[in-house]
Structure 1
Amino acid sequence: MAMPKGARLCLSAVLVVLVGCASAPPPKPAEALSRADYAIAQARRAVGDGVQSVPLYEAEQNMETARRLVSSEDRTAADVARAERLAERAVLDAQLAQSRAERRDAESRVAELEEALAELREQIEKAEGGAR
């Protein structure tokens, strides 16, 4: 026995809704989380142990929130999108922390070189003064 066209359309709509409700949660933004993990690890190495870095702390906090959002079984597409944005922000914060640490190290090396140069100048002046 054939179903009326309206009944088939209604049944199709119900099936679409049921399939949509029964589908798995959106996939985790694995690539964004991996990039952020790598950037944070790089920043940690650059910053060093025992050194406080606000951008690195913020990167770690953003990653913690992102992981919490995507680990939930009832996560929504909005949760995944927010987690991805937080992971991207974590990358930027980690890069800032790394850049600041590298700048700090470079400034320290410059100061050491300037000190060594001053000592050499002093030695040259003494040598030239004694040779006259």
Structure 2
Amino acid sequence: MSKENKGLSLADLDLVSASENAYEFEYLRPDGSDTGVFVTVLGAQAPKVQDWVRKTLNRRKSQDQLAAKRGKEVERTIEDDEQFGIDAAAIRVVGWRGITEPYSHENALILMERNSELREQVFEASNNLGNFTKA
């Protein structure tokens, strides 16, 4: 008798819920060496992350529409875009260990603002769906 592959359930394919399972990774120095700093992130598809992205982009769109009604154009600076990236990374961070200051969203914002290498690693870990799904 052969085993029949019954396939996957909808729950098995639910990447939104899986993205809520926090993933911890070690922050590595640019040369690849260990730091002893471990950061815990949500997946990019987690509702908390998606809600923040939607809210932020909708607010920008509303500002643009309001300015257009007034015959003006909203000028977005490079600094605005940089801050969006900092905020988008910080919203994904939900904890850490190996850093003397306690985790808080405010401290995550400071850390993401001050360390672009770590910010890139946060995005990489958060965007890698394999970090949030079962093998």
TM-score, normalized by the shorter chain, greater than 0.5 = no
Could you say which structure has the higher helix fraction? 1
The TM-score, its normalising length taken from structure 2, stands at: 0.28
